[in-house]
């Protein structure tokens, strides 16, 4: 398996410095459409520039690494169209980002209303932003007269000060404490839960039944994370309360980038009141669960018990109830929707790619036969895992990340002033033809290494969507051409959990069922906080008899 594919089973505890929680910002938009075989093709782009710059400074200012930044050239970008660009970002961001990359290159300067933003689409520059100079590029975005961290305030209203919304020393201390809970050996104990709950879900389907697979996967992943975090069943009161809270707060998150959004929470609009009341209900219920668990004794293997008993390796300090609440809720909410979206896109892509679907079924029939998958099976299911990896390349659950510069910085030969907003988009990078032959095609084979018996010239296979072929080795592709879980010290702490869960669910469902796309329904992405399918993914379920 390649280095990119191997990350699906890597131990996150071994690479704390290479971590990034990628759930970054709320967004709206009319999305980029797809057809039965692939998404609309991205235009060929210009050459990618390299990233370079001074070392990060510990504090904001006009100098970085002790050297003053001299005025330099601005990156290219659209001119005199700030309102038009802002409108396009709100209504059609996916097409806009692809177009800006195609027309202006890997680093683009533009305006959203009155603010200047920089769109960065070069792997070396992305690595610099997320890893080597991450102290300069803080999480969130900035508007004039806006506190630095207010860009993530809508999420903080719901999640508190968990890993997703905290920063600085608080984030470092929390990550140091929580990281061991996501050690692969510990996650492996949940493999049976993944398969069992997936089997319960599909056992209720009937041959020929019409389903919205996005709704099915949302219910399943919410049930999985509820069981693994709180040791509660899928039909618990907590699940119902979470559903209401997510629905009520989605609009609040969408408004995050609008001018004046920080004042909307104070206005007693019906949507604001519903969001506020749902947060209060969820907070009260989770605190009751925490109190009950402390009273009864936290001796289970669920993540809540582990949060209640863990101690900081450096200070020996435990988490208080507020911190336990924030982290448990962050894991629960961030951990189910992204995986549900990713699985839904995988089923959509498989439904429109007969060759890929047949290859997947053949692998599952050979390895599993008539039994449920286990985590021990995954090394023998490379194509299954490649299907999921290719799905999150085309439809990354988190499609954009916002950063703000706390100091002047040189990036790719351009001077980026302190206080700037920097956008990094997985949607754009994952479809860049400079790094991905057949960038909009669904090609699981691109993640597979050549077999030991293949000849030196046997380097390509047919595309799952047509005659195009793809080199099987990914060794020469830049690391940050593919970063669905971010990078640096804020990488998604649950990436291994999510990838193992998704592989088990995908194998469990596909060994029994073929999901045919509903005729006449176009599935398009809806860019919100995550990249979800607009109007779901309607399918017709056909039982398989391998």
Instruction: Specify the long-range contacts of residues 155-158, CB closer than 8 Å, at least 24 apart.
Output: 155/23, 155/26, 155/253, 155/256, 155/529, 157/249, 157/252, 157/265, 157/275, 157/279, 158/245, 158/249, 158/279, 158/282, 158/329, 158/333
* Residue (of 39, 28, 29) closest to 92 by Cα position: 29
pLDDT, position 546: 60
Which residue in this structure is represented by tokens 């104070």? 266
CB proximity list for 145: less than 8 A, separation 6 or greater? none
Helix axes 82-91, 93-104, angle to 10 degrees: 130
The maximal CA–CA distance of the chain, rounded, in angstroms, is: 69
- How is residue 527 annotated by DSSP? E
pLDDT, position 143: 46
Mean pLDDT by 10 residues, the chain (546 residues): 40 36 35 38 34 35 32 77 74 92 94 81 97 90 43 68 86 90 90 97 98 97 93 82 75 54 70 83 90 86 91 87 93 89 98 98 97 97 98 96 93 93 96 96 90 36 36 70 94 94 98 97 91 96 88
Token pair for residue 209?
């039944």
pLDDT, position 270: 82
Token pair for residue 19?
């971590």
Mean of all residue pLDDT scores within the chain? 79
Which residue in this structure is represented by tokens 């910085």? 409
CB proximity list for 162: less than 8 A, separation 6 or greater? 174, 326, 327, 329, 330, 331
pLDDT, position 219: 93
* Residue (of 187, 261, 212, 252) closest to 496 by Cα position: 187
Q: Is residue 281 classed as helix, strand or coil in its secondary structure?
A: helix
Domain ranges of the chain: 3-543
Q: What is the pTM of this model?
A: 0.80
CATH of domain 3-543: 1.10.630.10
* Residue (of 386, 392, 399) closest to 345 by Cα position: 392
Task: Assign 3-state DSSP to the chain and report helix, strand, coil percentages, each to 5.
Answer: 45, 15, 40
- Size of the chain in residues: 546
**Is the CB of residue 80 less than 8 Å from the CB of residue 72?**
no
pLDDT, position 169: 87
pLDDT, position 470: 41
Per residue in 79-101, pLDDT tens? 766 667 777 887 889 999 999 99
Q: Is residue 461 classed as helix, strand or coil in its secondary structure?
A: strand
CB-neighbour burial class of residue 188 (10 A; exposed 0-12, middle 13-18, buried 19+): middle
Q: Is 510 marked as a binding-site residue? A: no
pLDDT, position 445: 96
pLDDT, position 147: 39
Per residue in 121-173, pLDDT tens? 999 999 999 999 999 998 865 444 433 344 456 667 778 888 888 888 888 89
pLDDT, position 114: 62
Which residue in this structure is represented by tokens 């009864």? 296
List beta partners, residue 76. none
pLDDT, position 73: 80
pLDDT, position 82: 67
* Residue (of 439, 435, 427) closest to 476 by Cα position: 435
pLDDT, position 537: 98
**Is the CB of residue 356 less than 8 Å from the CB of residue 366?**
no
pLDDT, position 39: 36
């Amino acid at each position: 398996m390649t280095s990119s594919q191997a990350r699906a089973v890597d131990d996150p505890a071994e690479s704390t410095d290479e971590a990034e929680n990628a759930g970054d910002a709320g967004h709206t938009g009319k999305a980029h459409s797809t057809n039965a075989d692939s998404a609309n093709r991205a235009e060929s782009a210009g050459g990618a520039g390299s990233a370079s710059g001074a070392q990060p400074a510990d504090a904001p200012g006009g100098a970085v690494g002790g050297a003053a930044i001299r005025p330099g050239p601005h990156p290219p970008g659209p001119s005199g169209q700030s309102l038009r660009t802002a409108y396009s970002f709100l209504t059609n961001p996916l097409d806009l980002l692809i177009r800006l990359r195609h027309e202006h290159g890997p680093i683009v300067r533009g305006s959203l209303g009155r603010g200047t933003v920089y769109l960065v689409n070069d792997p070396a520059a992305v690595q610099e932003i997320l890893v080597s100079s991450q102290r300069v590029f803080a999480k969130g975005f900035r508007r004039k007269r806006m506190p630095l961290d207010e860009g993530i305030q809508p999420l903080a209203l719901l999640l508190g000060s968990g890993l997703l919304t905290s920063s600085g020393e608080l984030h470092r201390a929390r990550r140091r404490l929580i990281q061991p809970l996501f050690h692969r050996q510990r996650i492996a104990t949940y493999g049976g839960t993944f398969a069992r709950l997936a089997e319960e879900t599909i056992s209720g389907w009937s041959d020929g039944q019409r389903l919205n697979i996005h709704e099915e996967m949302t219910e399943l992943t919410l049930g999985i994370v509820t069981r693994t975090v709180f040791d509660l069943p899928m039909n618990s009161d907590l699940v119902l309360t979470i559903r209401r809270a997510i629905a009520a707060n989605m609009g609040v998150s969408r408004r995050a980038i609008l001018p004046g959004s920080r004042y909307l929470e104070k206005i007693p609009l019906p949507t604001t009141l519903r969001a506020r009341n749902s947060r209060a209900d969820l907070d009260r219920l989770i605190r009751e669960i925490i109190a009950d668990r402390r009273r009864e004794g936290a001796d289970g293997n669920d993540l809540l018990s582990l949060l209640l008993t863990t101690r900081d390796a450096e200070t020996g300090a435990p988490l208080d109830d507020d911190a336990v609440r924030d982290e448990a809720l962050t894991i629960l909410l961030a951990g189910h929707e992204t995986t549900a979206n990713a699985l839904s896109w995988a089923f959509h892509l498989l439904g429109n790619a007969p060759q890929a679907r047949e290859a997947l079924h053949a692998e599952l029939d050979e390895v599993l036969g008539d039994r449920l998958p286990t985590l021990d099976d995954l090394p023998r299911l490379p194509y299954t895992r490649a299907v999921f990896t290719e799905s999150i390349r085309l439809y990354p659950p988190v499609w954009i990340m916002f950063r703000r510069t706390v100091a002047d910085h040189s990036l790719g030969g351009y001077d980026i002033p302190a206080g700037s907003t920097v956008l990094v988009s997985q949607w754009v990078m994952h479809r860049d033809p400079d790094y991905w032959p057949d960038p909009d095609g669904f090609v699981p084979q691109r993640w597979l290494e050549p077999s030991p018996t293949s000849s030196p010239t046997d380097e390509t296979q047919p595309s799952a969507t047509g005659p195009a072929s793809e080199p099987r080795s990914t060794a020469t592709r830049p690391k940050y051409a593919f970063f669905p879980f971010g990078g640096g010290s804020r990488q998604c702490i649950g990436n291994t959990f999510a990838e193992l869960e998704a592989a088990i669910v995908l194998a469990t469902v596909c060994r029994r069922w073929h999901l045919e796309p509903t005729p006449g329904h176009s599935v398009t992405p809806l860019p919100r906080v995550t990249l979800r399918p607009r109007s779901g993914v309607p399918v017709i379920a056909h039982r398989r008899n391998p």
